[in-house]
Amino acid sequence: MSSLSSPSTKLPDLIKIDDITSGKIDPSLIFNELERLKVEINILRNDMSLLVKALATIPPDQSQQEYYRVVVSRLKSVQTSIKDYCAKYNKLLPIINLAQIKLGHEVEIIPQNPTGPSKPTGSRLSVKRSNSIHKSNSTNDGTNGGTVNQPIVI
């Protein structure tokens, strides 16, 4: 069996919807990666919480140098975790955006050119579901019930 005929066990750097529908990428790999991201975001939240606690509390038995080392260490850990998470998230962004469009939510578009820290990192595109397609969700005021445009939160 050649490696070209079977789906890869690792996600490629660029994921295309056509690769999933054609079988080049196993959908279970995407589900597994999404589950990993759910776990990683919880770990990241915990790391950020530890950093905030370290910033808020200076133990009386700890020297300034020790305190500084602890804070810098936690900060570097959080920075690395955020960079890793964003790289993995951005790899899955085409799939996430497709799901958001199907649900009628806003989608995030990452610009092709890297921007500086003072500029926004992405823009949002609002896609609304048609009232004629989802009449069961319509309310008396003519708006789509349950189709609130929610941005993707990183």
pLDDT of 66-103, one tens digit each? 999 999 999 999 999 999 999 999 888 888 888 888 88
Provide the token pair at 45. Answer: 């939240």
pLDDT of 102-125, one tens digit each? 888 887 776 666 554 444 455 555
pTM for the model stands at 0.60
